[in-house]
Amino acid sequence: MDMEIIRERMKAILNENRYQHVLGVEEVCKDLAVIHGYDMEKAGIAGLLHDCAKNLTDEELLQKCKEYHLPVTEAEEKSIYLLHAKVGAAIAKDQFGVHDDDILKAITFHTTGRPAMSLLEKIVFTADYIEPNRKPLPRIKEIRIAAYDNLDLAVFLILKNTLDYLKSTSANIDKKTIETYEYYRKVDLNLAHEDPCFY
Ligand code: DGI
Ligand code: FE
Ligand code: FE
């Protein structure tokens, strides 16, 4: 895949801020791939393309779901923007010629996560949150350290922040986000050497 061509196309599709965000995610995905032992090029493609449907309006997202025969869940009906993840995967396949299932899944689940994510899914999920263009978020330093050191812990901390934030805004919470949080809360977080009162 010619990354420069994909970048040009993404630049044409997205607004400038969102384009800078996907470049940041691409870069962090590659770093995390090297550190955690995943294919760097695939991680870069997934990071670059993960928000390729972010420019679409609610109507366009729903239209794309019809076009690609994608089911719309109850949670997605209530918060249509959630669809940019699965529609993004369909566009990555159909318009960018990505057929790698691991990359497509990482795009599909980049917003809610899912229990027992693959390494690439965790890399994209985490990179999306910590890339340098994101405005400062709570506990970001701790999450950045965890991202390079203990990816499952990073995923857990991101989900915890996201749920706290969603509760504070009284947004509708997708059950997938809760299931993912519950899964990563129970995963062996290798915290044996840390303060047991940490959480
Ligand atoms: O597309 P990005 O902004 O780069 O990031 P994203 O795809 O992770 O989307 C982030 C937003 O998604 C953030 O405001 C939290 C929200 N989100 C995550 N899980 C849920 C959710 N929103 C709702 N309504 N329900 C969820 O379960
Ligand atoms: Fe997104
Ligand atoms: Fe993103």
The H-assigned helical ranges of the chain are 3-13, 16-36, 40-49, 58-67, 74-78, 83-94, 101-108, 119-130, 140-149, 151-169, 175-186
Cα torsion angle, 169, 175, 181, 185, sign: positive
Which residue's CA lies nearest to atom 6 of ligand 1?
A: 111
Residue range(s) defining the domain that contains residue 172 = 3-194
Each residue's pLDDT tens digit, 151-165: 999 999 999 999 999
Instruction: Choose the residue to mutate in 111, 126, 131 for probing ligand 1, maximizing ligand atoms within 8 Å of C-beta.
Output: 111
**CATH (domain of 111):** 1.10.3210.10
Q: Is the CB of 126 under 6 A from ligand 1?
A: no
Interval 4-19 mean pLDDT: 98
Instruction: Say how many domains are in the chain.
Output: 1
- Give the Cβ contact number of residue 164 at 10 Å: 11
Each residue's pLDDT tens digit, 28-39: 999 999 999 999
- The pLDDT of residue 1 is 84
- The pLDDT of residue 175 is 98
- The pLDDT of residue 188 is 67
d(CA 163, CA 171): 10
- The pLDDT of residue 190 is 55
Give the position, in ligand 1's atom list, of the atom nearest the Cα of 178: 27
- The pLDDT of residue 197 is 44
Interval 114-142 mean pLDDT: 96
The yes-or-no verdict on residue 189 having pLDDT over 70 is no
- Residue 199 covered by a domain: no
Interval 85-111 mean pLDDT: 98
Each residue's pLDDT tens digit, 45-81: 999 999 999 999 999 999 999 999 999 999 999 999 9
| Residue given tokens 């669809």 in the structure block | 83
- The pLDDT of residue 51 is 98
